[in-house]
Amino acid sequence: MRLILLGPPGAGKGTQAQRLVARYGLVQLSTGDMLRAAVAAGTPVGLKAKDLMAQGALVPDDMVCAIIADRIAEPDARNGFILDGFPRTVGQAEALDAMLKDRKLGLDAVIALKVNEDALLARVEKRVAEMTARGEAVRADDNAEALKKRLDAYRAQTAPLIDYYGGKGTLNVVDGMAAIDAVERAIVAILEGTGSAAKRKPARQSAKKVKKAKKVAKRPAKAVKAAKKAKKTTKSKAASVKSAGRATRARKGARKAAVRGTRKAAAARRPAAKKRAGTARRTVKKAAKRKSGRR
Ligand code: ADP
What digits encode the pLDDT tens for the residues 70-124?
Answer: 999 999 999 899 999 999 999 999 999 999 999 999 999 999 999 998 888 888 8
Quick one: pLDDT at residue 202? Answer: 36
Q: Identify the H or E element spanning 10.
A: none
Quick one: pLDDT at residue 247? Answer: 47
C-alpha 87 to ligand 1 mean position (Å): 10
> Is 150 designated active site?
yes
Task: Find out whether the beta carbon of 59 lies less than 6 Å from any atom of ligand 1.
Answer: yes
CA 196, chain centre distance (Å): 27
Quick one: pLDDT at residue 22? Answer: 94
The C-alpha torsion from 181 through 183 and 188 to 190, rounded to 10°, is 160
The residue ranges of the chain whose pLDDT is under 50 are: 195-228, 230-248, 250, 253-254, 257-280, 284, 287, 291, 294-295
State residue 179 phi and psi, 5-degree precision: -65, 155
Q: Which of 2, 19, 50, 88 is catalytic?
A: 88
C-alpha 291 to ligand 1 mean position (Å): 115
Q: What does the alpha-carbon distance between residue 97 and residue 89 come to, in Å, rounded to a whole number?
A: 13
Quick one: pLDDT at residue 160? Answer: 97
State residue 5 phi and psi, 5-degree precision: -105, 120
Quick one: pLDDT at residue 139? Answer: 87
- Nearest atom (ligand 1) to Cα of 147: 3
| Residues 100, 105, 108: CA angle, nearest 5 degrees | 105
Nearest to 141 by CA among 206, 208, 57: 57
Q: pTM of the predicted model, to two decimals?
A: 0.67
Task: Find out whether the beta carbon of 32 lies less than 6 Å from any atom of ligand 1.
Answer: yes
Q: What does the alpha-carbon distance between residue 242 and residue 245 come to, in Å, rounded to a whole number?
A: 5
Q: Which of 48, 71, 114, 127 is catalytic?
A: 127
Q: Identify the H or E element spanning 190.
A: helix 180-194
